[in-house]
Amino acid sequence: MTIRNFVRKPVTNLINLVGLAVSLALVIILSVYSYSELTTDNYHKNGDRVYLFGDLTKGIYTPAILKEHIDLSVPGVESTVRMASAWEAPTFQVGNNDPITSDLLFADEDFFKLLTYHPVEGNLESALKEPMSVVITTMLSEKLFGSDQAVGKTMKINNDKELTVTAVIEAPKANSCISFSAIASVATRKIVFPNGDEFTEWGWCNYQTFMLLKKGINPDETAKKILALYPEIPPDNSAAKLNPFTKLYFSAFNVYGNSYLHHGDKKKIMILVMVAALVLMIALVNFINIFSSQWLDKIKQTGVMKIIGAKRSTILLNVLSEAFLLFLVALFIAIILVGMINPFIQNYTGIRFNPQFIYSPGFILLSIAIVFVLSILFSIIPALRISSSNAIDNLKKTIEQPVSNSFFGGVLVTTQFIIAIVLLAFTVLVQKQVNFGSSDLGFNQNNIIGIKLTPQLNGKKEVLKKLLQEKPNVERISFTQYYPGKQISHWGTHQDINGVKKQLSFDTFNADATFFGVLGLQLTQGRFYSEDLTTDTKKMVVNETFLRENKMENPIGAKFVMGMGMDAGLSEIIGVVKDFHYKAVNEPIVSLVMQNEPNAFYCLVSLQTTDFKSLHRTIDEIKTASSQLSPSFPVEISFFDQAVENMYKSELEFQRTFSLFAGCAIVIGCMGILAMSLFMCQRRIKEIGIRKVNGATIAEVITLLNKNFVKWVAIAFVIATPIAWYTMHKWLEDFAYKTEISWWIFMVSGMLTLGIALLTVSWQSWKAATRNPVEALRYE
Amino acid sequence: MIQLTNIDKYYDSKFQRTYVLKDIILEVKEGEFLSVMGPSGSGKSTLLNIIGLMDSPSSGKYLLDGNSVLDLKEKVRVDYHRNFISFIFQAYHLIEEMTVYENIETPLIYKGVKSHDRESMVADLLDRFNIVAKKDLFPQQLSGGQQQLVGIARAIISKPKLLLADEPTGNLHSTQGEMIMETLKELNNEGMTIIHVTHNEKFAQYGKRIIRLEDGNIRSDTNRKT
């Protein structure tokens, strides 16, 4: 019976089913994603007692020496663990296999006491005790050792010292704000990457300090005790607290480049959950509209059933089960759909979750239960009305569609239009913001490639330079520590500049003289340093923000100490460049100091614009040449503009997610409007016939039929505009550089909605208006 | 006024051709009151629809007011409906969402009559049919006879030359039916051409001329001399 009913009105029912299925699929994706985001790091056994020391808004970098003082003199701390990732991703080599580049995290040996991971091989409690031991994930183990057992085996790090694998862990199932492929102890770091006075000076802030508090210890008091350990109040951490680890993921903290720590964006998730809710709402409105439009048909049908002797409850049950069945089928289509589009969604929008989750019995049972409740909720009123109507009335069809129904329908459609306009306006805004953020970064991005300097390349920079210069199309070559989206040092020091005590806090990297030309940076004062390092040493170029933040009016010639320990000495500011975005675009530009020290991590090569083919040939040649110089380390070459894209990746992904979902919402809404107009035209067939007989033209009939929809769009526009404006305003608050909310965004989305609605409706109106009135007016 | 020559109307189904009208030859002069009679399915309504330009014949010639009106453009046809031909129906076919007043006014709006003129024209008709008190009621609130009066009022407000009535009394009991027929007769006396389809022998006698249809053919055509 249900299936026959479905087939009898294929268009409307299909609209209903597809709309529900697509919206449920989106809801499933977003809810599973939100669930996994919101439950980030809730699986660690001791997680609720783990804290990160620092001031999240300013800096979470602390000196290594802090741990020793905490261990000695702060009671209540069960264990302190410092963590830092390797500055540059190292390479691991097993035997004579190809070296593999991987990230590496350093942490103190109690790491596994604070955070819970599951061992596949080896014992985690003692895994990091011995220096030069390393714990790796199953994924890395497979890459390095294949299916062999990894524990006990050794591998070379950076073609130098040997590390012994002591345990293999499963990659964490749930989301975590800490991610790594390999972890070694801090003691190992001391041996593998010796780094100045890192372990003895308070000024070397390279670590995050996590700690496990004993039960019942007050974190605020402990934080005060720790702060008192500092010999001098640290400029970035004067307001440091103990931040609960479980809440870390949704805190906006600053980390530099390739960090093991990353954070989510609660606002983004909230917005996506809202979008999911709106999409579901649109589909449910369709459901209500279509369900109540079939009301008259149903009444006729049930009239016959009642006369043959069906009970009220039977009919009620019938109507309800029909609705539930529709929802259930939609749910299963949705689940299949999610499985199918999941890889695409992950790639395109960066929404990642465990797809196995949606096939778990718990999830399926829960969603069936939800669908059950929804279907009953949205069909109970028409069901009750149908079942309680009088059988004779039903047959005579004297039951009129209640007037409230068409009014109600209007409200529902207006609601859909409101949602459509808000979503459209927001999509336009997100697009505008992404364009705004990525349009003017303040430097060249095109035709520049970056070669990561492997240890072997680093030793032969001059040779590399000469080799590259011989290649055709190569314009300029620069050695630098900076690369878009990669790690940048941040320093905070007390300095004495021209006799004035200042607290400085700035980002810094080394770059040679060619760097400015390659990136096309603009000088506002002074000069760039020259190529010749013998005469032009210890010189610095700062950005405009540096002047503003430190209130320097005559910066040229000012000197302060750069570096620490052995290589410290006075450096001189010789130039000021215009601000440019060198970090993620939604972060504010901070003070920046560039100095002409020779150590570099990257070689930037700017190429002359020529045709695509020869460009590619040159890049291939560069790759071969540099690979020859670096036989034991794989050479990575990347396009600058791709790296730059990473600087606004999260915005880009958000934009894609949003436009995808908003698009779906609008399509589903359109389908609903189509069904609605179909129904309205059917109901008014007689009226249209009368009007035509009385001399109405087709155009007049179409106008008559479309008038209501135009009215609804207009009302929706008036209501939607302030809502959209407010949400836009809220969303933009987070951006350091934001685009304007222009009036045309609303106009565009309003007109677009009107256009789409009219197109959809006119299709039906046209059909209704061109019908021969004789058919409509034939006596029934 | 109306000249039908060799009008056929048929439907082709898979195996056979079903004729609804066959070889109809009919002339109706201006000022006539023609009653069309016949059993169900004899083609009365189809004939009326063809005359009213709501349906087109499968073959044959149709001259209306001296012009051929087959294959008209939409615009011309609408013009005929606005100014020349009007309908009344058995089921009244009033627009249920509109009041009596608005129903009668509708054709004038399509015709493009100014609001001020419309008011006086509708008021005249309401007055003539004695339904002034009902003007703000909705069709469902009226009796059948009253609804049909509104239907007639709507049909004649645009001052058509030709009034087509498809069983206007079919849903009414006899006193109300007589009232409607009297109204039509009066209109005819004022010079309006009326073609009227009915089952009812008594009501058919209101016509000055009666034709009887059977199986798509005109069986008889009689002029009443009264």
- Confirm whether B200 is domain-assigned: yes
B167 contacts in chain A (CB < 8 Å):
779
Backbone angles phi, psi at A506, to 5 degrees: -155, 160
Residues in A touching B11 (Cβ below 8 Å): none
Determine, for residues B74 and A697 on separate chains, whether the beta-carbon distance falls below 8 Å: yes
Does any domain span residue B93? no
| Banded model confidence at residue A395, pLDDT cuts 50, 70, 90 | low
What chain B residue is nearest to A771 in terms of C-alpha separation?
B54
Burial (CB < 10 A; 0-12, 13-18, 19+), residue A690, is buried
Say which residue the tokens 């030859």 belong to: B25
Is the domain of A156 the same as that of A226? yes
Q: What is the DSSP letter of A588?
A: P
**Distance, CA of A24 to CA of A338 (rounded, Å):** 9
pLDDT for residue B97: 78
With bands split at pLDDT 50, 70 and 90, how would you rate the model's confidence at A547?
A: confident
pLDDT score for A391: 57
Nearest CA in chain B to A696: B110
> pLDDT band at residue B116, thresholds of 50, 70 and 90?
very high
Q: Are A376 and A324 in contact (CB under 8 A)?
A: yes
CA distance B77 to chain A (A): 9
Number of independent structural domains in chain B: 1
Same domain, A454 and A309: no
Q: Is residue A550 part of a domain?
A: yes
Chain B: give the shortest CA distance to residue A297, in Å.
Answer: 20
Shared domain check, A203 and A317: no
How confident is the model over A405-433, as a mean pLDDT? 85
Asked if the Cβ–Cβ distance from A690 to B94 is below 8 Å, we say yes
Report the run of H or E that residue B115 belongs to, with start and end: helix B115-128
Section A236-244 average pLDDT:
81
**Residues of chain B contacting residue A698, judged by C-beta atoms under 8 Å apart:** 74
Residue A780 forms part of a structural domain: no
Most confident of A302-306, A452-456, A491-495: A452-456
Q: Is residue B68 part of a domain?
A: yes
Q: Please, which pLDDT band fits residue B43 given cuts at 50, 70 and 90? A: confident
Residue A780 is predicted with a pLDDT of: 45
Q: Indicate the residue of B49, B93, B158 with minimum beta-carbon distance to A690.
A: B93
B110/A773 touch (CB, cutoff 8 Å), yes or no: no
User: Which of A250, A281, A307 is where one domain is finished?
Assistant: A250
User: Look-up: residue for tokens 């006369």?
Assistant: A307
Residues in chain B within 8 Å Cβ distance of A397: none
The answer, yes or no, to whether residue A336 has pLDDT greater than 70, is yes
- Listed residue (B8, B93, B5, B86) closest to B53, CA to CA: B86
> At B14, which CATH number?
3.40.50.300
- Structure token digits, residue A737: 């550089």
Label residue A397 left, alpha or beta by phi (over 0 means left) and psi (-120 to 50 means alpha): left
Q: Using an 8 Å Cβ cutoff, are A768 and A681 in contact?
A: yes
Q: What is the pLDDT of residue A4?
A: 65
Say whether both A454 and A602 belong to one domain: yes
Residue ranges making up the domain that contains B169: 2-84+160-223
Q: Which residues of chain A neighbour B118 with C-beta distances below 8 Å? A: none
Q: Which of A219, A250, A281 is the last residue of a domain?
A: A250
**Interchain CB contacts (distance < 8 Å): A and B:** 57
Share of chain A above pLDDT 70, in %: 91
> pLDDT (tens digit, 9 = 90+) per residue, A277-291?
888 888 888 888 887
Whether B125 maps to a domain, the answer reads no
Contact status of A220 with chain B (Cβ, < 8 Å):
no
B145 located within any domain:
no
**Mean pLDDT in chain A?**
82
A182 sits in which H/E element: strand A182-185
Residue A725 falls within a domain, yes or no? no
Other Cβ atoms closer than 10 A to B120: 8
pLDDT score of A296 more than 70: no
Q: How many independent structural domains does chain A possess?
A: 3
**Cβ–Cβ below 8 Å for B82 and A695:** yes
Q: Of B55, B78, B83, which is closest to A697 when you measure between CB atoms?
A: B78
DSSP-derived 3-state class of residue A596: coil
pLDDT tens string A73-112 = 888 889 999 998 887 788 888 888 888 888 899 999 899 9
Let me know whether A12 and A85 are in one domain: no
Q: For A110-124, A237-251, B51-65, B201-215, which range has the lowest pLDDT when averaged over its residues?
A: A237-251
Amino acid letter, residue A445: Q
Question: B81–A687: do the CB atoms touch at under 8 Å?
Answer: no
Judged by CB atoms closer than 8 Å, whether chains meet at A779 and B95 is answered as no
Of A262, A259, A260, which is closest to residue A251 (Cα–Cα)? A262
Q: Is there a single domain that holds both residue A640 and residue A522?
A: yes
Domain annotation covers residue A15: yes
DSSP collapsed to 3 states, A275-341: HHHHHHHHHHHHHHHHHHHCHHHHHHHHHHHHHHCCCHHHHHHHHHHHHHHHHHHHHHHHHHHHHHH
Lowest model confidence (mean pLDDT) among A31-35, A303-307, A360-364, A726-730: A303-307
Indicate if A92 and A212 belong to the same structural domain.
yes
Name the token pair of A114.
Answer: 């604070």
pLDDT of residue B226: 54
Q: Is the pLDDT confidence value at B45 over 70?
A: yes
Closest chain B residue to A697 measured between Cα atoms?
Answer: B78
Q: Could you tell me if residue A385 is inside a domain?
A: yes
Largest interatomic CA distance in chain A: 107
- Which of A386, A401, A416 terminates a domain? The answer is A401
Residue A561 belongs to domain spanning = 448-647
At residue A480, the 3 state secondary structure works out as strand
Inter-chain CB proximity B55 and A774 less than 8 Å: yes
Average pLDDT on A414-440 reads 85
Of A695, A777, A779, the CB nearest to B110: A695
Does any domain span residue B43?
yes
SS3 A385: helix
Residues in chain B within 8 Å Cβ distance of A772: 54-55
| Residue B78 domain-assigned (yes or no) | yes
pLDDT exceeds 80 at position A566 = no
Q: Is the domain of A64 the same as that of A157?
A: yes
Q: What is the DSSP string of A501-552?
A: EEEEEEEEEEB-THHHHHHTPPEEEE-PPPS-TTTS-SEEEEEHHHHHHTT-
DSSP 3-state assignment of B85?
strand
- Report CB contact under 8 Å: B81, A695: yes
Average pLDDT (B45-60) is: 88
Looking at CA atoms only, how far is residue B88 from chain A in angstroms? Answer: 10
Whether residue A405 has pLDDT greater than 70: no
Pick B87's closest partner by Cβ from A693, A698, A779: A693
- Which of A570-584, A621-635, A736-750, B20-34 has the largest mean confidence? B20-34
Are A298 and A349 contained in the same domain?
A: yes
B189 pLDDT above the threshold of 90: yes
pLDDT per residue as tens digits for the range A1-58: 566 666 666 777 888 888 889 888 988 888 888 888 888 888 888 888 999 998 887 7
Contact criterion met (CB below 8 Å) for A479 and A600 = yes
Residue A239 falls within a domain, yes or no?
A: yes
Nearest to B95 among A690, A700, A773 (CB): A690
State how far the alpha carbon of A185 is from the alpha carbons of A112, A126, A136, A331, A590, in Å.
Answer: 11, 11, 12, 49, 33
Instruction: Answer whether B54 sits within 8 Å of A774, measured CB to CB.
Output: yes
According to the model, what pLDDT value does residue B120 have? Answer: 93
Position A779 in a domain: no
Contacts of A654 (CB under 8 A, 6+ apart): A268, A430
Question: Domain for residue B130, yes or no?
Answer: no
- Please check whether residue A276 lies inside any domain of the structure: yes
Q: In terms of CA atoms, which chain A residue is nearest residue B49?
A: A774
Q: Could you tell me which residues come within 8 angstroms of residue A246 by beta carbon, excluding any fewer than 6 positions away?
A: A41, A42, A47, A48, A50
Is pLDDT at B15 greater than 50 in this prediction? yes
User: Average pLDDT in the A595-607 region?
Assistant: 83
Q: What is the mean pLDDT of chain B?
A: 89
Q: How far is B5 from chain A (nearest CA, A)?
A: 22
> Distance between CA atoms of A769 and A771, rounded to whole angstroms?
6
